[in-house]
Chains A and B, each alone.
Chain A
Amino acid sequence: NVVNEILNYVIVGEYKGQTYNELAKFVDKFGARPSGTEVLEQSIDYMIQLTRDENINDITTEELTVPHWTRGEETLTMLEPRVKNMALLGLGRSVTTPPEGITAEIVVVNSFAELDKYSDSDIEGKIVLYDPIFTTYGETVQYRSQGAAKAAAKGAVASLLRSITPFSINSPHAGSQYYEENVPKIPAAAITLEDADLLRRIYSRGEKIVLNLKMFSTDNSRISRNTLVDYKGTEKPEKLVIVSGHIDSWDVGQGAMDDGGGLFISWAVPVILNRLNLKPRRTIRSIFWTAEELGLIGAKAYEEKHRSEADNINFIMESDEGTFAPLGLAVAGNAETRCIIKEILKLFKSINATTLVEDDSPGSDIAVIIQTGVPGASLHNDNSMYFWFHHTEGDTMNVEDEHELDLGAAFWTAAAYVIADISKDIPR
């Protein structure tokens, strides 16, 4: 009755409310934890001590170089056809504007195909605003990640983006973006749905729109750490079942949802098992990835460092899409793997977390490892509101629910335990 023992201990027993309380203490103490900052390193030290306080001492940190991009003052003002200040968030690693800012007319496009319909001379010297309507994150995030490079290739002087979210109360959403070699680097920022839609309406009426954009930032590199907590297996200690979340966050909000919740349910796995004295056959490794937000930097470093031992990863799990009520797992692997996980998920009928979603590239950080052939899964949860808060000042403890975090921690722990303990390795 191992699964029920874990569920009871976490949901109604001694551990009830602990995940929420520990997450709240963490995010209230440190707030946002951007890559390359001292506060991120302090938060890593805090997690190490918190783990030691649970009498779990098999902890390793692995250093790597991470970006340290720091946001300075940012303003966006519509000058024509009327004066209006607009909320914005510069996108990750964006270059700065001149001190006086960039003042230019805008062109509004809803896709790269629409951008391509304009000649280079139409775009040259303009600010391009991408305003795709949110469908799915995967479909629309390309305008955030590639928009500046594609606009610059046609001669634009700056790139703006309708925030990648289905819902807004005038909240801009940060996020990463990437420049291309041999293309000028231009400032890139996200604006709110409300302002993007206002600009679209004015633009569609054929009126001239002139904006002034000021963005300042610094960009250098620092050393950070991935943190590995091992809960040693009894029979096959070299074999790993990895549970993970990232410890860094954007520089807005508290990073409570992204990815504080994922961090703390993954931290809870060895803690709960240790408290219950449940020892699986294989080792459970809880990883706190660093520098996810600026491009999966920690996961890429881990994959490179541990490439020769990748065969020992039996299964890899990540929670980075919310820790709302768990529904099951989004699983990458062959048919046999998915059948084994499907059988394991049947153990979670009592909490309605039995759904297996087929996903060839689940998660964010773990996608780096899954694409090398390692089977894995991300937490499938009731996260329909996730992108309302994603990368905004609204990503705070208020997003989190104590009971749902209990359900998530219990599910995550029990699922990892069963995968780590069954007699059969998860097949490749």
Chain B
Amino acid sequence: KVVYKDDVCNVLIGDDLIAEIASYE
């Protein structure tokens, strides 16, 4: 099953880490 909507994850891990991960693409 797929879990955790983006808004939940945004709160849990923060925008900075999300941006950092996105930079690897």
Contacts and interface: CB of A to CB of B under 8 A. Distances in A.
Nearest to A358: B3
Contact of B21 (A4, A338, A340): A340
B25 A343 contact: no
Interface string B3-15: 1100011001100
Contact of B12 (A3, A336, A357): A336
A336 B13 contact: yes
Contacts of B13: 336, 339-340, 343, 424
B4 A342 contact: yes
Contacts of A356: 2-4
Given A339-B13, A343-B9, A3 B24 contact: yes
A422 B12 contact: no
A358 B17 contact: no
Main secondary structure of the interface of A (DSSP, over half): helix
Interface residues of A, number: 23
Contact of A343 (B1, B8, B22): B22
Interface string A1-41: 11110000000000000000000000000000000000000
A352 to B, nearest CB: 14
Contacts of A4: 25
A174 to B, nearest CB: 31
Interface residues of B, number: 15
A2 B25 CA distance: 6
B20 A339 contact: no
Interface string A395-428: 0000000000000000000000010011110000
Contacts of A342: 3-4, 9
B2 A355 contact: yes
Contacts of B9: 339, 342-343
Contacts of B12: 335-336, 339
For A342, A355, A421, A423, the residue with the greatest tally of chain B CB atoms inside 10 Å of its CB is A342
A338 B8 CA distance: 11
Contact of A418 (B3, B18, B21): B21
Nearest to A336: B12
A350 to B, nearest CB: 9
B8 A3 contact: no
Interface of B: 1-4, 8-9, 12-13, 17-18, 20-22, 24-25
| Nearest 4 Cβ contacts at the A-B interface | A339-B9, A343-B21, A358-B3, A347-B25
Given A340-B13, A343-B13, A422-B20, 6 more contacts: A3-B25, A336-B13, A342-B3, A343-B21, A423-B17, A423-B20
